[in-house]
Amino acid sequence: MNPPGFARSTLAIFKKEMRVFFLSPAAYAFVAVALFLGGIFFYMGIALSGEASLRPMMSNLGVTLIFCLPLVTMRQLAEETRAGTLELLLTSPIPIGALIFGKWLAAMALCAVLLVSTAPYPAILYVLGDPDLGVLFTSYLGLFACCAAFTAAGLFASSLTRDQMVAGVGGVLLVLPFWLVSAIRDVLPEGAQLAADRLSFLAHLRSFAGGVIDTGDIAWFAGFTFVFLFLTWRSLESRRWR
């Protein structure tokens, strides 16, 4: 028997993750909680600003994702470790990279499901006002970029422990600084404010919400994602050496 290649291994892991997601309550809990919070922010955003766009609610949606995405990622590796199925995966001839990438893609697919189920928001905006379709599109792109980055961080947290709860809290804590840095921005000296804007995910999300696709912002989210996926890979590799 020949070892399966990277693409086939990724696909196998992806399909398995999707099946397990939808057979366990985590996926439904994630979508339900995110939609509930999103609904509140959507209402408040329109009611307070009177503006037919997602812009007023984007920060809140981004922050919602920080707290909801760990519901998806927390079990992904921690549970495999606890149940001993990681031993099955790591004694199978699949590359570790494909294992992680397949899991991340599955989490992203779930995020896509979430974003698609927010379709009523733009539909309502369209009925009540005259939203800019381009801005709507870039707003969604920004949220999707947030999902990519935060799921990578959550996956890393999940690779560090066998306890799902610890993995969930860890997933939040890893991303929290990139939000809190915007909260303390205004009390910082001027030079540090610039650095804070670089670090804050909200600052990068804001330009998406304004209809701008900036390569710098894309690079920020892509880099964030890559770094945490890489750390996840190192974490799984190094655990074998301990």
- Please report whether residue 187 would count as binding other proteins according to CB under 8 A: no
- Please report whether residue 97 would count as binding other proteins according to CB under 8 A: no
Measured from the CB of residue 225, what is the shortest distance to other proteins in angstroms?
Answer: 24
What percentage of the chain's residues is helix, strand, coil (to nearest 5)?
Answer: 85, 0, 15
Contact 183, 59 (CB under 8 A): no
- Please report whether residue 241 would count as binding other proteins according to CB under 8 A: yes
Count of residues of this chain found to bind other proteins when the rule CB under 8 A is applied: 29
Q: Between 49 and 92, whose beta carbon lies closer to other proteins? A: 92
- Please report whether residue 234 would count as binding other proteins according to CB under 8 A: no
Instruction: Mark 52-91 with x for binding to other proteins (rule: CB under 8 A) and - for no binding.
Output: -------------------------------xxx-xxxxx
Q: Between 99 and 143, whose beta carbon lies closer to other proteins? A: 99
Helix (H, G, I), strand (E, B) or coil at 32: helix
Q: Site for other proteins (CB under 8 A): which residue of 47, 50, 93, 190?
A: 93
DSSP conformation class of 160: S
Rounded to a whole number, what is the distance in angstroms from the first to the last CA of the chain? 30
Cβ-proximal residues to 94 (8 Å cutoff; 6+ apart), any chain:
3, 4, 9, 12, 13
Q: Between 107 and 146, whose beta carbon lies closer to other proteins? A: 107
Contact 103, 17 (CB under 8 A): yes
Q: Site for other proteins (CB under 8 A): which residue of 13, 77, 106, 155?
A: 13
Strands (DSSP E) found in the chain? none
Q: Between 8 and 198, whose beta carbon lies closer to other proteins? A: 8
> Within 10 Å of residue 70's Cβ, how many Cβ atoms?
29
Cα-flanking dihedrals φ and ψ of residue 93, to 5°? -80, 40
Binding residues (CB under 8 A) for other proteins: these are 1-4, 8-9, 12-13, 15-16, 19-20, 23-24, 83-85, 87-95, 240-242
